[in-house]
C-alpha cells in the first residue's frame, strides 16, 4: 500500500513525506522530482516554454507510473488533483492523505520564488485554494490538519495511519 500526499503548494508534502517514509520504513518519491528527471527540465522551464496544459499532461503520466509503486510515500504536486485519470490510479494504489493547511500558514512559511503559478503573485494562493479545496477533499481518504508544526502533523499522521 502507498500513502499519497496531496495539498496546496507550500503545504509541506515533500517535507512531511520524507519524514513519514522514514518513520514508517517506506520508500519516498516526489512527483515533481520525477517530472524533472524524466524531462531533463525544471518545472518553471516546462511552464515557461510549454505551458501549464503540457505540464499537466506530463504530471498525469508520472502519476500513472507512481500508481505502480508499492510501499511508497508519494508526494504529489499541488495541482495533481486537476487530472482525474492520474489521481484515480493513485487512489487505487493506496491511501490519499490531504495535508489541510490554512492559506495564512502557507503564506507565512513558504518561499514561492521557484513555483511557476505563484512566484509573481503570492496572493494567488488564496484563489487556488478556493478553486482546489473541493478536489482535495474529493480524493482524500484522510484529512490531516496541518496548521501546526511538522512534528505535530507527523504524529497525527502516524496515529491515523496506524488505525487504517
Looking at residue 64, which CATH number applies to its domain? 3.40.50.300
Give residue-wise pLDDT tens across range 8-55.
988 999 999 999 999 999 999 999 999 999 999 999 999 999 999 999
At residue 119, the pLDDT reads 58
At residue 112, the pLDDT reads 66
N-term to C-term CA, the chain: 11
- Count structural domains, the chain: 1
Residue 4 pLDDT > 70: yes
State the number of CA atoms in the 13 A half-sphere of 73 facing the CB.
23
At residue 73, the pLDDT reads 98
Q: Cite the annotated binding site for substrate by residue number.
A: 32, 56, 78, 132
At residue 152, the pLDDT reads 94
More confident residue, 142 or 163: 142
Q: Which range marks the domain in which residue 75 is found? A: 2-162
Give residue-wise pLDDT tens across range 107-153.
887 776 666 655 556 678 888 899 999 999 999 999 999 999 999 99
d(CA 9, CA 126): 11
At residue 118, the pLDDT reads 59
Q: Cite the annotated binding site by residue number.
A: 10-15, 32, 56, 78, 115, 132
Global confidence as pTM: 0.92
Q: Cite the annotated binding site for ATP by residue number.
A: 10-15, 115
| In the chain, beta strands by DSSP E | 2-6, 27-30, 72-75, 94-100, 142-145
Amino acid at each position: 500500500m502507498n500513502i499519497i500526499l496531496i495539498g496546496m503548494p507550500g503545504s509541506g508534502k515533500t517535507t512531511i513525506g520524507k519524514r513519514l517514509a522514514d518513520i514508517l520504513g517506506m520508500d519516498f518519491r516526489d512527483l515533481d522530482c520525477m517530472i524533472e528527471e524524466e524531462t531533463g527540465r525544471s518545472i518553471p522551464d516546462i511552464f515557461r516554454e510549454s505551458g501549464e496544459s503540457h505540464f499537466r499532461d506530463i504530471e498525469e503520466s508520472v502519476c500513472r507510473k507512481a500508481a505502480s509503486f508499492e510501499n511508497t510515500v508519494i508526494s504529489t504536486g499541488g495541482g495533481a488533483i486537476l487530472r482525474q485519470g492520474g489521481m484515480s490510479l493513485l487512489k487505487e494504489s493506496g491511501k490519499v492523505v490531504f495535508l489541510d493547511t490554512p492559506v495564512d500558514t502557507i503564506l507565512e512559511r513558504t518561499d514561492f520564488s521557484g513555483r511557476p503559478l505563484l512566484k509573481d503573485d503570492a496572493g494567488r494562493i488564496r484563489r487556488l485554494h478556493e478553486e482546489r479545496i473541493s478536489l482535495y477533499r474529493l480524493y482524500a481518504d484522510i484529512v490531516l490538519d496541518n496548521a501546526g508544526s511538522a512534528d505535530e502533523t507527523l504524529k497525527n499522521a502516524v496515529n491515523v495511519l496506524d488505525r487504517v
